[in-house]
Structure 1
Amino acid sequence: MEDWAWVITPDFVIVVAVTEDHRFILFRQTKYCVEEVTMAPVGGYLDPGEDALDAAKRELFEETGYESTEWTSLGQYCVDGNRGAGTAHLFLAQGARQVTHPSADDLEDQEMLLLSQSEVEQVLMAGEFKVIPWTAAVALALRVLDSSR
């Protein structure tokens, strides 16, 4: 294993947030590795020593101004089985409500959207989530929501 190429990146969270009126909080944004516009859920890196759920709550609040008290873990996953690249901690946040305006302190070019479940299903199947952990998080969240009906 000593000679194996390993990518060391921080662990990160992805949050699929759904408002009290069942709208999904998503972004239409541009990312460096994606050479076109992509749909994206809330997400970000864990701070050193930070618990994944605490990071998820922080990211939801910072990026959207929303808070939620209904959190479901969708699991934690290795992003690249051969090279590492951090662990993705996926969450579903239901009953989200806006308590403030988001803090736009990053350099991302993005637009926050509130979409219905059927709209999210359509953009998912159209391949508009261009990053695989985002795609997985949204698909898992939709599965959990469908099974809870």
Structure 2
Amino acid sequence: MVRVVGIDHLVIRVSDFDKSKAFYDKLFKFLGFEVLDEYADAIGWTNGKTRYWIGPADAEGQARGYRIGDVGFHHYAFELRSRKDVDDLEAFLRREGVRIVDPADEYYDDYYAVFFLDPDGLKLEGMKWGERQAKAEAAKKKAKKSKK
């Protein structure tokens, strides 16, 4: 049986390639990504596990633009190491003047995230889930060891 072992890459189309390239370059440098490869009509970044590419939309796509709620892409979430990383990302976004649509907060039980928009209004997310549960389990293990 065929098994997916991961998502290799995501490619998005943007209305203003240079503007989006500058936005994503700053964002990805902050997130620890490096440029993977660059062509006249595409650029991709990677952190060794995730690859994210952008390229210019065609004339029809540029004229129509993106709207949250359309069929297709809803948002892309970057899993971060900790809630502190989520807070640090939000501080970076604020310094850069990026539009934050939902500030860093707990949106589900033990799910902490910040949601923001790229220059075309594509929704992105920095998130961490399970941190409180992992800390509680580590404390239980430590307590068990100390009782021995």
TM-score by length of 2: 0.25
More helix by share: 2
More strand by share: 1
Structure with higher RCO (Cα < 8 A, 6+ apart): 1
TM-score by length of 1: 0.25
Larger Rg: 2
